[in-house]
Structure 1
Amino acid sequence: MKSDSKVLTALAPFPVVLPNWQHAPAAVRAFTTTRHGGFSNGPYGEAAGSAGLNLGDHVNDNPVAVKHNRDKLNLLLPSDVIFLSQVHGNIILDAADLAAGNIGDAVLSTQVGQVCAVLTADCLPVLFTDVSGKVVAAAHAGWRGLASGVLQNTVTAMRAKGAQEIIAWLGPAIGPQEFEVGRDVLDVFAAQVPDVQAYFEAKASQDGSEKYLADLYGLARKLLNDIGLSQVAGGDRCTVTEVAEFYSYRRDRVTGRMASLIWIAPN
């Protein structure tokens, strides 16, 4: 982001991860939360035992703590977040029409101050903006969402709203040395990624079944490149191994959720 991203970091009442994209317009704001700085305890808190910023209301955390966490987040934003009911699919919604409980895995906006957000804890959050700062979007992309075209659908929807040159940032997700999958996952991607073996590293298994380490970041970048996005930043964090920073479902099972958010700020 531009230099004003430093201001956002200074003002945030909790740590955030900022996109490292090079050509985002000045009017666009974006960040991903971490597990630090909230009111949740137990497995939803920080690794060191302090209260954490779990933003998921579907993971059996104390609902009062989750409300306090969301209120703390909303104080930093131009509009309160309306979170999607994510189902690992490919439905794209417009933030202007969004209501609580709407099913979808990506949301876009052309309106100033309308926040787009997704929740993750190993799945890949992808934030998008066009270089003019007129259209922004957030997508939730686990392997099922990637395979079903959630990123392609998001870009198509943005282009339908007038987006020209689109850039993307791959937020914190499970890293390529931690995402163990079976042959079924490789086969799903083989139909749409000709060089699919480049994103799956064979791994020995005790039961003799085919196991692979899948590169979720690499797959996402490949799929985005194939539809004309040459500027794809991020993809250098790991929610599983960075225990102190991120929630991870694969690592802990019972855990919280981070939010990745993007919006167009007033001039």
Structure 2
Amino acid sequence: METIVPNWPAPARVRALSTTRDGGLSQGAFAGLNLGAHVGDEAALVEANRGLLQQAAGIPGRLNWLNQVHGIAVHPVSNEYDGAPEADAACAHEAGLACIVMTADCLPVLLCDRAGTLVAAAHAGWRGLQNGVLEASIKAMGCKPAEILAWLGPAIGPSAFEVGGEVRDAFLAEQAEAVAAFIPSANEGKWLADIYQLARLRLARAGVSAVYGGEHCTFSDRERFYSYRRDGQTGRMASLIWLAE
């Protein structure tokens, strides 16, 4: 099972990774380590894949999966987890409780504090990003933004993420600097958006300057990543962060 471990100066107690589609038991359109239970894959295979992930990561408690809806709700992870709460981010301050988000082009953002006492994960598609899921996650952590480190996991790259003018307008209405994250597409009225740059701008405005990652493109690397924009019916990767004992 290939995973991507963030290259960031997080405290030793902070553990984090993003999965790829390598490994796992799913077949066909979901071939590999599909972790999404909502995409049409066989439930038993998804459950087995999730078990493989937990075993490989060495997380002691149960994994806290979310029902993601492109919103900005942040779920506080606890040992009393029962089912998948409707949220697009999670935060935790106890050891062994993993914050997890699933993606297949949307941007996963992992967060921790410099002291190694708080972690969070956010699912930042363009809607959630524009509506403030990163700001909500920072607020839920409850520490000074300057004390936060952020890592941007695998997402659709700037050469592949074509959006309409309404998406660009929505970001520019919130933050004029976002103009730099859009370039005209070859298709009239369309723009190529850099979701990594948009996230960095939002984080910087919120007071988070220590931002890492952002070098992968899920759309262009078919062998390594699931991509909803590329394939339509496809699996989901997971990005997770937790505190070790």
Sort the TM-score into its range (normalised by shorter chain).
over 0.9
Matched, 1:123 2:110: no
Give the letter aligned to residue 135 of structure 1: L
1:169 aligns with 2:151: yes
Q: Which residue number in structure 2 is paired with residue 62 of structure 1?
A: 42
SS at match of 1:212: strand
Separation in structure 2 between the aligned mates of residue 171 and residue 185 of structure 1, nearest angstrom = 22
The question of whether the paired residues in 2 share the 8 Å contact of 1:134 and 1:163 is answered with no
Q: Is structure 2 residue 140 aligned with structure 1 residue 157?
A: yes
Contact 2:183 2:193 in 1 (8 A): yes
* Structure 1 CA distance for aligned equivalents of residues 196 and 172 of structure 2: 16
**Larger radius of gyration, structure 1 or 2?**
1
CA distance in 1, matches of 2:151, 2:179: 24
Pair 1:112-2:91 in alignment? no
Map 1:23-38 → 2, pairs under 5 A: 23-38=9-24
CA deviation vs aligned residue, 1:46-105 (integer Å, no higher than 9, x gap): xxxxxx100000000111111110111122322221210000000011001643121000
User: In terms of mean alpha carbon deviation, does 97-106 or 194-203 score higher?
Assistant: 97-106
Partner secondary structure for residue 168 of structure 1: strand
Conserved in 1, the CA contact under 8 Å of 2:146 and 2:209?
no
State the secondary structure of the residue aligned to 1:154. Answer: helix
| Correspondence for 1:215 among 179, 185, 194 | 194
1:265 aligns with: 244
Q: How many residues align?
A: 242
Amino acid at match of 2:236: R
Tell me, yes or no, if the aligned pair for 1:135 and 1:163 is still in contact at 8 Å: no
State the alpha-carbon separation in 2 of the partners of residues 55 and 112 from structure 1: 23
TM-score by length of 1: 0.88
Indicate which of 178, 186, 199 corresponds to 1:196. Answer: 178
Match of 1:44 among 27, 30, 49: 30
Shift of residue 140, structure 1, vs aligned partner: 0.2
Residue 15 in 1 paired to residue 2 in 2? yes
Once the two structures are aligned, what percentage of the paired residues are identical? 50
| Runs of at least 5 residues in structure 1 that lack an aligned partner in the other structure | 1-13, 46-51
Where in structure 2 are there 5+ consecutive unaligned residues? none
Aligned to 1:9: none
Letter in 1 for 2:35: L
- Superposition TM-score, scaled by structure 2 size: 0.96
Q: Is the 8 A contact 1:129 1:167 kept in 2?
A: yes
Runs ≥4 residues deviating over 3 A: none
Shift in CA distance, 254/230, structure 1 to aligned 2, threshold 3 Å: same
